């Protein structure tokens, strides 16, 4: 099963919280409170993100952590790379492949195409989108444009692409 680890998931939550105020600083303790993650987990995640150059820390009374670049320039692929390494669903999909049958394998190129498609999809999703900062109406319209026939000749139901007010969705 393809699944990212918990630290990657937590990192996305922490980054999404920072993306709410991309130029402001936020203390690790405040991030832990905002995200409801344990403070040691937030600290561990922030340390890795700082090492990778995704966040910047500053000391002092007004210090804390902030994004190193705008959320529109941080991709899901970059976040996964920090905590999981590059996407590689098979041994031959890695840059340093050590598969003994790769030269004779008939399925290798197909799996590499799948791997490349997954990578492209992850590169197309930004932190801005992960944090829910883009327009809900735009996401629905994009989804509607991407829906294809279901393989049985049925056309998808029409989707209302009118803008949705997120505040009314919460009750």
Task: Report the phi/psi class of residue 153: left, alpha or beta, with left for phi > 0 and alpha for psi in -120 to 50.
Answer: left
| pLDDT band with cut points at 50, 70 and 90 for residue 12 | very high
Separation between Cα atoms, residue 103 and residue 26, nearest integer Å: 51
CA-based max dimension of the chain: 63
pLDDT at position 100: 74
CB 12 within 8 A of CB 79: yes
Q: What does the domain layout of the chain look like in residue ranges?
A: 6-131, 135-165
The third-level CATH classification (topology) of the domain covering 6-131 is Arc Repressor Mutant, subunit A (1.10.10)
Separation between Cα atoms, residue 30 and residue 64, nearest integer Å: 9
pLDDT of residue 19 exceeding 50: yes
Give 67's strand partners.
Answer: 55
105-115 pLDDT, tens digit each: 788 888 888 88
């Amino acid at each position: 099963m393809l699944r990212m680890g918990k630290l990657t998931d937590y990192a996305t939550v922490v980054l999404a919280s920072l993306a709410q105020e991309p130029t402001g600083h936020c203390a690790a303790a405040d991030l832990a409170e905002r995200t409801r993650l344990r403070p040691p987990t937030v600290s561990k995640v922030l340390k890795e993100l700082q090492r990778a150059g995704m966040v910047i820390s500053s000391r002092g009374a007004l210090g804390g952590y902030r994004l190193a670049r705008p959320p529109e320039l941080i991709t899901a692929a970059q976040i996964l790379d920090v905590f999981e390494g590059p996407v590689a669903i098979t041994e031959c999909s890695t840059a340093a492949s050590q598969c003994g049958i790769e030269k004779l394998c008939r399925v290798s190129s197909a799996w590499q195409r799948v791997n490349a498609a997954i990578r492209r999809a992850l590169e197309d999703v930004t932190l801005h989108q992960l944090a829910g900062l883009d327009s809900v109406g735009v996401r629905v319209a994009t989804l509607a444009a991407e829906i294809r026939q279901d393989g049985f000749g049925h056309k998808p139901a029409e989707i209302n692409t009118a803008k949705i007010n997120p505040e009314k969705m919460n009750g």
